[in-house]
Amino acid sequence: MTSEILKVREQFGAHLIGRDVGKRIREQYFSGPPATWPRVLDLTGVDQATESCADELFGTLARRAGLGPVRSIELTGCEPAVREAIEYVLALVEKPPPSPNRAAIERLLGRRGRRIVPKG
């Protein structure tokens, strides 16, 4: 059964901290296809959302269903800090930061010029 409006604070609190809470929201309300998702996410009274929580909810949904359906969820009562966290993870889905290749990792570790000894 899908509700049109999900009041986040009532069920999940004012501080969306950690991956678990993002996962709970996703599994409880977004486990089906986008047509069954809540149309509105009411974030009134939610003061804070960490990247990991936002990624677990919005990032995972965007990777699964695409950015379009996620962007079409209406966010109401959204504090700037919460909106920024959501936008941040969606931007990472849209344009993922480059994963460091082996050479970049070696530079990062200051190993340039040193031979890497495989384990074993």
What is the spatial distance between Cα 66 and Cα 1, in angstroms, rounded to a whole number?
22
By CB under 8 A, is residue 5 in contact with another protein?
no
Helix (H) / strand (E) element for 7: namely strand 5-7
Q: Which residues contact 80 (CB under 8 A, 6 or more apart)?
A: none
Q: Which residues pair with 48 in a beta bridge?
A: 15
Residue 31, both tokens = 């486990």
Given the rule CB under 8 A, which of 28-36, 37-45, 67-75, 99-107 is the region that contacts another protein? Answer: 99-107
Number of residues that bind another protein (CB under 8 A): 42
By CB under 8 A, is residue 47 in contact with another protein?
yes
Binding residue (CB under 8 A) for another protein from 59, 70, 78, 90? 59
By CB under 8 A, is residue 114 in contact with another protein?
no
Q: Which residues bind another protein (CB under 8 A)?
A: 13, 15-21, 23, 47-48, 50-53, 55-56, 59-60, 63-64, 80-81, 84-85, 88-89, 92, 97-100, 104-105, 107-109, 111, 116-119
